[in-house]
Structure 1
């Protein structure tokens, strides 16, 4: 966890230096990205809000992800991760949004999307949305979620 907190502090400093506000749209991490950021004193200067959209219905209702997109590609997919980030950005007072959707396990995986499959989206006003995909193979549920938080931080830093 110390690595996560160190990375969170670093990301918050970067966001503050760029004068950017961040929002999160989280599924498999259940709010861990926002929680890790807001554990740091002073984070309110750059953290706008977090959307926890664990169910498909929440993704549609809160973020505007089309149900047809989820039905066609599945909730754990590049198109849905992108739509989550873009939907959150459209609804938040933030400049940048990171999204995460995946299969943390231990069940729920398939041959096409095994446990540990996670898709990320990162949307920034005025820029094209970025996607990233990771397979956190051989990790338990907690490890997949923590690795996803860390990767989300790294993805945001890349597009700063």
Structure 2
């Protein structure tokens, strides 16, 4: 794992007095695990939400049924609501979200390897993006998504 990068990310959050939260679907808690692998992370990492089902996204993060119906779980719209919901339902200052199709599978409109991210920070506009990691296999898509989410957290502190 990106131990050094994670330690640096946590040190930066600590320096700025920022608390972090995660809202994960296809990564199943991998970002939270990476953050908490570093000793002393409890003063920075506030909480993580693993919301694999649509019901969990709605119940724990406040994702709207209308958003899920109109755009599907793998969409920037849902990633935005997940990140913002993680902020609302925690004491964090910055939250990152991940929703995607790790594989195997996918469809013509939502291919395997498509992952949508959101990063919300108090007092700033929420940022969303979609990355097409490609059909490189479930484990590699999930790992790449975890690393991108960590990068997004670091960028949100700039």
- The verdict on a shared fold, with TM-score over 0.5 as the criterion, is yes
Of 9, 17, 20, the match for 1:19: 17
Compare 130-139 and 143-152 and name the one that shifted more.
130-139
- TM-score in terms of structure 1 length: 0.95
Partner of residue 85, structure 2: 87
Q: Partners in 1 of 2:83 and 2:13 — Cα distance?
A: 17
SS in 1 for 2:147: helix
How far 1:82 sits from its partner (Å)? 0.2
Of 44, 60, 63, the match for 2:61: 63
Q: Partners in 2 of 1:138 and 1:9 — Cα distance?
A: 30
Partner of residue 134, structure 1: 131
Question: How many residue pairs were aligned?
Answer: 157
Compare 114-123 and 12-21 and name the one that shifted more.
12-21
Partner of residue 114, structure 1: 111
Q: Partners in 2 of 1:17 and 1:147 — Cα distance?
A: 27
Partner of residue 120, structure 2: 123
SS in 2 for 1:112: coil
1:30 aligns with 2:17: no
Unaligned 5+ segments in structure 1 are none
Q: Partners in 2 of 1:113 and 1:66 — Cα distance?
A: 20
Quote the RMSD (CA, aligned, Å): 0.8
1:153 aligns with 2:117: no
- TM-score in terms of structure 2 length: 0.97
Unaligned 5+ segments in structure 2 are none
Deviation per CA, 1:25-45: give whole Å up to 9, x if none: 000000000011101101001
Partner of residue 102, structure 1: 100
SS in 2 for 1:134: strand
